Every structure is written in structure tokens, then in C-alpha cells.
Structure 1
Amino acid sequence: MAASHTNICIGNYLLERLKQLGVTKMFGVPGDFTLGFLDLVEDCQGIDWVGNCNELNASYAADGYARVKETSIGVVSTTFGVGELSAMNGIAGAFSEHVPVLHLVGVPSTVQWKAKPMLHHTLGDGRFDAYTKASSHVTISQAAITNTESAASEIDRVLTACITAARPVYLTLPTDMVYLKISAEPLKTPIKPIWPQNNVETEKFVLDDIMKLIAGAGDQVVILADACAIRHHVRMELGELIQKTGFPVYAAPMGKSVVGEDYERYGGIYVGSISHPDVKEKVESAKVVISVGAIKSDFNTANFTYNIPEMKYIELHSQYAKVQYAHFEGIGMKDLLPKLTASIVALNSPSKNAPVPKLEAVIPQDASQEVTQEYLWPRVSKFFQSKDVILTETGTSSFGMLDVPLPSGAVYLTQILYGSIGWAGGSTLGAAFAAKECGLGRTLLFIGDGSLQLTGQELSSMIRHGLTPTIFVLNNDGYVIERFLHGPTRKYNDIQPWRWTSLLNVFGGEEGKTCKSYTVRTRTELSTLLDDPAFAKSDKIQLVEIIMPRLDAPRSLKATADLSSKSNKYAPT
């Protein structure tokens, strides 16, 4: 039923709200408590059902979709109990990394919910709310549709929380509520994020404090960009700050690609003690560091080794600001950044002329034909194009990508904070859908052989929907990041080898027609493939197995693993 009618069923009300938010794909696995609603989804003009191989992959896909389609949200639909618990790990990762996802759960009817019979998918003890309580720890807001009077307001409430906080929300829809009618009148008013307005006097005080520090810093002011600049929608405001001030800018690992890495004032990735020496020196010697959207987790800071004294540190966040030791709650960066930019432009700070190290990818010129980590990342960086969507898995690929530049307009996704192995495989499905919708380019996944074994089933969903990502499988025979953390020769870090080049055919592709697979063992073979225009076109799904040394890792991974293993104290001293 169209949204303009006086009344609309609850299920369609929800779908209309999702369409208003720009959602065109819904991920998930059908279950008996969702089937009535899924009839509405399948008949809905504007939202496509994407069936996944399992609920965990579906939640990863919703996460990837939301990361690429920054103006929308991801949606995953699961059934009560067994389905929602399978998805919860992916929802937790989205919560951890500030990604807006709706977890929609089909639950038993309101009659059954009250009577609490020993239904399938329950724990058998009458605790029908057990899963809701569990989800409350990994979602920012929860709602249960239990009557027609509050259905619309509850849907609107959780969706507003989702887009405001940039975090997942949880909504249960009983089987007998899907088709009940409610007023469509609220749909005439689109929902929007509710960001609190900065207090004028406090904001002016904060701005004055920041400007005093900048004025006294001479040409020693730098900007440090991080992930929440993307998640909390200040990419444009940050871009204006960077362009109009000309200040040197660096990024944390989770903030990679928030700044165009071919910009002449961009210097590279700052990651504490394991940063490139030139980057480390420039950031840590600065008199003022303006941090925008920081997430100071262990892997994002090289095990908390930021060497930036608080006296020099300004932090801007979505809900608060910190200037040296002072914390200003309720002063958000969305409103503050434009005013800060205008003030700095008026100051005409000499930091706009401070030298910035040039980020370059240098390909080793030794005679070896072995595809090492040191060789791979600079070489594949030459393959990247503007508007590519590039995903890396926690491990060798996410660390390997740190020191190579991406072209302007490229979108980079990785999961550094939550670090759920296999995330990138499932997330690629959602990212590839979103890339098409946003007019972006190729979708490129770099993932280890161990990681892809967790979520490789979703390659079949990519084939089913005609998506054409290119998957680079780093075949180094096991869990390499774990080997460097501890137990390099232990059997628990080993995996069963797969026949990778047969996988796309097994999942329904036709070699040479709808898919293409390759194995490269040497640098010459890799370069030849990357230089092939037909391969670079990415007009079909492709899988490239890259044979790599078993005990080889990027420089930054080795350093981080060493710091982490010392902190974890795996063995007695």
C-alpha cells in the first residue's frame, strides 16, 4: 500500500521509512517468524531482499553496505533466537565501530509472547526476552512492536537513534502485528538525526581556547583524522578545514581514505610507535595536534603508543570536545568545525606552509620472484583506481595497506577495532551493492586464506546477484597474524588448504563466463595479471590466489604483534 494512503500496515510503514533513509537492500536469512513480513519485502518497490548463506554473513553485509553508503543505514532481518544470535557478532562489530545498522527480528505473536509456551527457537524456560536483553548490550536502542498505538512512534524512535548515534538498533516485529493497520500520516515527516545544538557561550569559549593554542604554535599545527569523521558525517566539514587552512594532515589506520591520499598536504598514517619515521616525527614534534573523530583503540594506536602530550592535544568528537585537559560535554564537531575553519583562515597561520612528508609506495627492486608482503602492497597500489572500494581483513592485509597511498575518491574499509575474522568476506557483499548504488568503481577484497574460510559461502551470494568484486586471497597457509602474536609453529594456527581456484565454480559460477580464477606464484605473474586490461576491467567476479611465504608479515603487523604479545603475557617469564 502506498505511503500516501490514510492507513498502512505496520510492515509497510517500516519499509517506507527505510526507503526514505535510502535503503534499497535488506540482508538476512528467512525464518518462520519472518515469512509474512518477507512477503511484503519481496513485493516492495524499491527494496530488494538479499538472501544470505547465514545470519552472521548477513550482518557483516549490512555493515559493509552502511559503511559505503554513508547517507543510509544497513538492514539485516533474522528470525527469533537462532537467527538473531547468529547475527549478533556482526551487530556487535557494527556497534564497536560506529556503523548504523537496523537488526530487525521476526518474533512469535503477541499472544504467544504473553503465554510463553515452550516454542521452538526459545530456551525452553519461558524467557522470551532473553535475546532482547542480550542485544541491548550491542545496540544503542531497542523497540518491540506490541500494539498499533505506538508502532509508528517506536519505529521512528529507533531509526532516529540509529542515524543520530551511527550505531545499530534492534527492533522486534511479532508475526501478528505485520499486517495490522496504522496511520500513514507520520510518513509525511521524514526522520532526521537529532544532534544537540552547541551551547553558544561554551562553544565560543572552546573556540577561543583552541585558537590561542594555534596562534602560539607557529608553523607546528597538524590535523589527525580518524574513523568517526566518516561515521558521524563531518567528512565535508573536515575537508573544508583541511583545504582552507592548508595544515598538514595525517590519518589514523581506521581513518584511512577519509582524506584523499594524493592530496599534497597529506602525509600518511600515524599509528603511534610503529608509524613511518617521517610521519612519527612530524606528528609528535607538532605543538598542536587537532584530532577529528578519534577512536583510540589498541590496534589503531599501536598498543596505545601515541606520544602526544595532552598539553598539545585537541580532540573533536560528535558529542564532546577536549582541549588539553578540559572536557566540554555537548560541544559537537559538526557545528564547531566550520567556525574553527573560519577562525584559522582569518588567523593566516604559518602552518599552511609547513613541510609534509610525501607518501609513496616504493616497489622493491631486488631479484627475488617471491611475492612477499614488502613487495605485494606497493605493487597492488599501482593497480588502484579512483573510486575503487577496497576492503581488507584484520591481519596482514589491513596492516599491509597502511603505508601505501590510495587514489583520490577511493573508499577503504577495514575492521580494526572489533577485528572479527571473516568480517571482510561478508562485508564485501554489502559493499559491492552499495558501490553500484553510489556510482563508485570496482570492489576489491584482500583477505587471508584463514579468514575467507569463515565467510567464503557469501561468494555464492555475490555470484547469485551478478556482483563482480575481485577477491585477492593471500594464501600463506594459516593464521599469520596469530603466528606472529604467539605460536608460529603451533598446530592451532594451521588450516586445511582449500582449492581456491575451484571455489567460484563450486558456488555456481561458470569459469570464463561469469567468473574467472587465477593463481599467481611469482612477482612477474602478479604484475602481468595486474597490468592486464581485461582483468582490471572487473566485469565478472574474479578470485586471485596469491601464494605467499608462510612466516612473512608487513612491518607494522610484526611490530604491533610484538607489542600485543608482551601485553598479553602469553608465556611465563
Structure 2
Amino acid sequence: MVSDDIVTRELENPMDVAEYLFRRLHEVGIRAVHGVPGDYNLAALDYLPKCGLDWVGNCNELNAGYAADGYARVKGISALITTFGVGELSALNAIAGAYSEFVPIIHIVGQPTTQSQKNGMLLHHTLGNGDFNVFNRMSAAISCYVARLEDPRDAATLIDSAIRECWVRSRPVYVTLPTDMIASKVNGNRLKQPIDLSLPGNDPEKEDYVVDVVLKYLHAAKNPVILVDACAIRHRVLDEVHDLVEASGLPTFVAPMGKGAVNEAHKNFGGVYAGNGSNPGVSEVIESSDLILSIGAIKSDFNTTGFTYRIGQLNTIDFHSTYVRVRYSEYPDVHMKGVLRKVVQRMGKLNLSPIPHITNKVPESEQTSSQTITHAWLWPTVGQWLKENDVVITETGTANFGIWDTRFPANVTALSQVLWGSIGYSMGACQGAALAAKEQNNRRTILFIGDGSTQLTVQELSTMLRNKLNPIIFVICNEGYTIERYIHGWEAGYNDIQPWDYANIPKVFGGQDAYKSYRIKTRDELTKLFANKDFSTPNQLQLVELYMPRNDAPAGLKLTAEAAAERNK
């Protein structure tokens, strides 16, 4: 490697690599960095305050990864810092989930010096075999770009490229930062030119051709509909989607992973389509349509109630980040953003069909004198309590499926991990989301998580208290892993958990007077709590033990679990 003295003499405005990296993070909107300190990243962490970044400091790297995921889903991008080997490996489950679900996280790993690595030294946090690249290779498979900062001459270029790829491709990137690179010098004048985060434009001729093909079938359709899914959110085409909904007047639906992508207060909104688990009246409209504009679909098992979609490709136009498929003809290298924009501009009048009327009314079968809190009663009731601009997080399990029956107010951001489905994800994600929401005029953040899932990542309550965050957390107490019970082992001991005193856990974590907790066992108690102004406009963390029957679950979960059990045989 060229000596730092030679490099510094060649630069007009020398700047330390760590400072350059962190100032670039600030440039793209990141204001807080998640992670856990370790000896190979400690010196780098000293640069955070001067670059306008806060250090969160999580309880472990897995939780930090989950938190970075939640922060990115609210703010658009996030950063995670871990240490070599032991730290980065602990975060890999979270990074894999972010890769799976198209969440942009910049994962920065502090490493031993470049010379130590070249010499294959027998250092702590290694496998003892001199291979310092083994962890890079692990992360490369779940990252869309790897930037190994080993030479100051190309460090700034690699940093800029990593951030751009993270944003444009909406997936994690992996950045190594050896300790001897932290204070190496790069050209600070590069900061005068912001990173270009714009999408590469489509070939105009190809784009116009695809738009003409789409419009041909759209104008011929007698009852077209719009179906929006997660990749519309991840690949930042919501403005185009909203304009399409408004201009077309077409019935508009979301898949479970697309919850929050569409303004559910809009007159065109017709509910959630998930095959057999759809909202009432929705599957009939979708499945009888002669043209479905499917935007950003992820047709996974949990997102389709066990692959129970009944829509044929002959009646579908798929819009994605790297291609558009019109019926059975695929057009590669055509991004949906430009195509959707032109479709809206050239659309004209379309044939319209009726839109199902979806409300948060509790089903008549649940309008009884019973005080038992059931899922069929809970989720419409939650919808009546939610407010515009809320951030709503649901854990894999009953909450993930139950939220399908909640019609959101306008501008609600929904977080769930339907595809990757790592149990415990949502507690960490809640910390990151609540921090991001605090940066966005203190939006209200609400988490629904099961008692079993809570036991995996409960330490992040401590991080929330430490950072003075004020989410409302509902711990659904139903005696263990309900989703697992429905798949297999209803009475098996492996689906049981040790009952915890959840309401007092914040006190154990030093919360003292910085939180409030509640135990809710009846419908009247929950209705009264929802009506409490102090509870609904929190200025501190609030935790609710919400007791529900062990054998109760949303209909969508039961159907999906049944399909999963059949496939597992």
C-alpha cells in the first residue's frame, strides 16, 4: 500500500477515511448509527459526533441489525457498525432478512490492520487459520455490493459506490474498515459533489414500446384492478402508484407485504388480497378481473396464504425494478418507475368496476357480551384507534396475519417481515423505527409482538429506554409459539415458554419512571385504554400485556399454517 504521507501530499483537502464515510452517511439522511462497539471499530466510532451522527449502542449485534432494518424502512436507508468476526456474524441473520426483503443497510465492519491480514496473524476473533477473508465471503452472498477499504487511493470511490448501490438496489452492502485505514487520507473535496442516487434511466425507445403495450391491454380490459406489493415500497415508486390510483379510479388492493403502500382511506382502496386469506369480497373481485396491474409482487407462501393466489399470468401485467412482464412477454432492463409514470400520463379513460367496501367494523359474530379478546375482535378495533402517520410494526405470527383485517388511516407506515420471518425481529425493528419516527416529527410508533417472540430480543427495551424513545408495545400473551402450534406440535413442550412478568421488564432494565405498563385481559379494559388520551399520545415507552386465548389465531394464519404443515410432510 502507498504510504499515507505520499497520498496526503497529493491531496488538496485531505480527510480521514472514517470522517469521509460518516459524512456521506449523513448526506443520504442517516442521523443515527446502530451497532455494538468492538476493539476493531472503537477508533472509528470517535468520528461519529463530528459528522452529525448519533451512536445508538444496541444490546447485541443481531438486535442492532434488526434495528437498522426498522430504521431503514422508515427513513429510507440505515447504517450498522459491527466488529470483525464475532460481531459481524451475530448480525448476519438480520442482514439476510434485509437482503431477502429489499431493505437498504450499509453494514460497516471494523477489521484488523491490512498488514495483519496479509501476514495471516493469529489474532483474536479469527478462526485461527490465517484466513481473514472467510467472513467477507459469507457477507458477500447477502449483500448487493462489497467495498473493501484497503487502499486510501480508491477508498472514497468505493464508499460512494457502496452507498449508491445500497440506495438504488435497495439491499444491504458490506464495507470493511481496517483499523489502519480509519485515519488514512482521502480527497475531502469529493464531498462537494453529492452521490448520484438517481435510478439509471430506461432506454427511451424500449420504455415507450412497453408503455404502449401496457396501455393496449389496459384500454381493452373490461374490469382491470391494481394490486400493490412490497417492492413498490422498497423500490420507491409509491408516488407513481398513488398517481396511478388517483388518475385511473381503478379498484386498488394490497398484498400483506404491501400494507401501507396505498392510502387505505382512499375511495379506491378495496382491501388486502392474499388468496384464501383475503378480506371479505376481495378475492372475488381480483380473481374475476380480466387484467391485474401487479406492482412489486412478492408471491411467497406467507404473503399468499400458502400459495392460494388464483390469478393467471394471462391476465396479469407485472411491474418490477428490473423488468416488466405483460402477460407472457417479458421486457428485461425496464424499470417500473419510468413505465408507471408514462402510463399515468397517457392513460385516458378506463373501464371501472365496483370496489369492495372495507371498514374497521367488528364482525357481527364478535359483537357479543363476551369479554375475551379474540383476534377477530382485536384487529378491527385496533384500526379504529390508529391515527394518520402512525408507524405500525407486527411480529411474525398472529400479529403479522391479524393486521390484514385492520384498515389503516392515511399515511401509515407498516413494518413486518413476512418473507424472511425471523421470530423476534420486530422488537429490534421497533427500536430502529421509533428512532427514525422521532426524527420525523415524533411519529407514533406501535408494536404488536407475541410473548414467545419477545423472549428472543427483549433486551432492546433497554436500548429504547436509553435513547428516550416512546413506542407503544403490545405483548400478546397467549402462552407460547402460536404459529408453530398451528403448523405442528399443538401440545408439544417445545412450543411452550416460561411465563414472564413483561409489564415489569422495563423496570429491570433501569426504566424507573421512564415508562408505563398495563395488564389488559378484557375487551372493556382495552377499549378504555384506547380512549385514554395520555396512553394514546405517549411521551414515554408504554408496554401492554395483552392476554388472548392460547388456541385463537387470525383466519389467515390458520390457513397458511395448514398449507405449511402439508408441504412439510
1:413 aligns with 415
Offset at 1:200? 2.3
Offset at 1:312? 0.6
1:224 aligns with 2:231: no
Instruction: After TM superposition, list the pairs within 5 Å mapping 1:156-195 onto structure 2.
Output: 156-193=160-197, 195=199
- Shift in alpha-carbon separation, 1:118–1:166, aligned structure 2, 3 A: same
Query: Unmatched 5+ residue regions in structure 2?
Result: 1-10
Q: Deviation string for 1:297-350 (max 9, x for gaps)?
A: 111122222211111100011111000001100111111111101222x2x112
Q: TM-score, normalised by structure 2?
A: 0.96
1:477 aligns with 479
Q: Deviation string for 1:143-193 (max 9, x for gaps)?
A: 111111111111111111101100000000000110111111221211123
Instruction: After TM superposition, list the pairs within 5 Å mapping 1:237-256 onto structure 2.
Output: 237-256=240-259
2:429 aligns with 427
Return the letter of the residue paired with 2:316.
Answer: Y
Q: How many residues align?
A: 556
Once residues 214 and 168 of structure 1 are traced to their aligned partners in structure 2, the CA distance between those partners, rounded to angstroms, is 36
Contact 1:56–1:90 (CA<8 Å) still a contact in 2? yes
1:537 aligns with 537
2:444 aligns with 442
Contact 2:207–2:338 (CA<8 Å) still a contact in 1? no
DSSP-derived class of the 2:46 partner: helix
- Please say which of residues 275-284 and 185-194 is displaced more in the overlay: 185-194
Instruction: After TM superposition, list the pairs within 5 Å mapping 1:27-426 onto structure 2.
Output: 27-41=34-48, 43-70=49-76, 73-193=77-197, 195-218=199-222, 220-344=223-347, 346=348, 348-351=349-352, 354-363=353-362, 364-426=366-428
Offset at 1:509? 0.9
DSSP-derived class of the 2:404 partner: coil
Once residues 458 and 149 of structure 1 are traced to their aligned partners in structure 2, the CA distance between those partners, rounded to angstroms, is 39
1:19 aligns with 26
Once residues 274 and 23 of structure 1 are traced to their aligned partners in structure 2, the CA distance between those partners, rounded to angstroms, is 37
Return the letter of the residue paired with 2:58.
Answer: N
Contact 2:276–2:556 (CA<8 Å) still a contact in 1? no
Offset at 1:203? 1.9
Once residues 183 and 534 of structure 1 are traced to their aligned partners in structure 2, the CA distance between those partners, rounded to angstroms, is 52
DSSP-derived class of the 1:397 partner: helix
Once residues 323 and 155 of structure 2 are traced to their aligned partners in structure 1, the CA distance between those partners, rounded to angstroms, is 33
2:4 aligns with none
Once residues 472 and 314 of structure 2 are traced to their aligned partners in structure 1, the CA distance between those partners, rounded to angstroms, is 46
Q: Deviation string for 1:493-529 (max 9, x for gaps)?
A: 011111111101011112xx31111101111111111
Return the letter of the residue paired with 1:486.
Answer: H
Offset at 1:110? 0.8
Return the letter of the residue paired with 2:293.
Answer: I
- Please say which of residues 397-406 and 303-312 is displaced more in the overlay: 303-312
Offset at 1:198? 1.5
Once residues 444 and 104 of structure 1 are traced to their aligned partners in structure 2, the CA distance between those partners, rounded to angstroms, is 29
Contact 1:460–1:507 (CA<8 Å) still a contact in 2? yes
Once residues 443 and 260 of structure 1 are traced to their aligned partners in structure 2, the CA distance between those partners, rounded to angstroms, is 18
Once residues 34 and 90 of structure 2 are traced to their aligned partners in structure 1, the CA distance between those partners, rounded to angstroms, is 13
Query: Unmatched 5+ residue regions in structure 1?
Result: none
Offset at 1:194? 5.1
Return the letter of the residue paired with 1:20.
Answer: E
Once residues 164 and 5 of structure 1 are traced to their aligned partners in structure 2, the CA distance between those partners, rounded to angstroms, is 30
Once residues 196 and 68 of structure 2 are traced to their aligned partners in structure 1, the CA distance between those partners, rounded to angstroms, is 20
Return the letter of the residue paired with 1:49.
Answer: W
DSSP-derived class of the 1:176 partner: helix
Once residues 209 and 358 of structure 1 are traced to their aligned partners in structure 2, the CA distance between those partners, rounded to angstroms, is 32
DSSP-derived class of the 1:224 partner: strand
1:461 aligns with 463
1:524 aligns with 2:553: no
Offset at 1:274? 2.1
- The list of structure 1 runs, each at least 4 consecutive aligned residues, that deviate by more than 6 angstroms after superposition, is none
- Please say which of residues 271-280 and 50-59 is displaced more in the overlay: 271-280
Once residues 160 and 504 of structure 1 are traced to their aligned partners in structure 2, the CA distance between those partners, rounded to angstroms, is 39
Contact 1:139–1:170 (CA<8 Å) still a contact in 2? yes
Contact 2:34–2:68 (CA<8 Å) still a contact in 1? yes
Once residues 540 and 284 of structure 1 are traced to their aligned partners in structure 2, the CA distance between those partners, rounded to angstroms, is 46
Once residues 37 and 443 of structure 2 are traced to their aligned partners in structure 1, the CA distance between those partners, rounded to angstroms, is 31
Once residues 180 and 221 of structure 2 are traced to their aligned partners in structure 1, the CA distance between those partners, rounded to angstroms, is 64
Once residues 136 and 548 of structure 1 are traced to their aligned partners in structure 2, the CA distance between those partners, rounded to angstroms, is 42
Once residues 495 and 529 of structure 1 are traced to their aligned partners in structure 2, the CA distance between those partners, rounded to angstroms, is 27
DSSP-derived class of the 1:258 partner: coil
DSSP-derived class of the 2:91 partner: helix
Contact 1:196–1:330 (CA<8 Å) still a contact in 2? no
Offset at 1:273? 2.4
Offset at 1:439? 2.3
Contact 2:397–2:483 (CA<8 Å) still a contact in 1? yes
Offset at 1:548? 1.0
Once residues 350 and 217 of structure 1 are traced to their aligned partners in structure 2, the CA distance between those partners, rounded to angstroms, is 7
Return the letter of the residue paired with 2:201.
Answer: Q
Once residues 385 and 227 of structure 2 are traced to their aligned partners in structure 1, the CA distance between those partners, rounded to angstroms, is 27
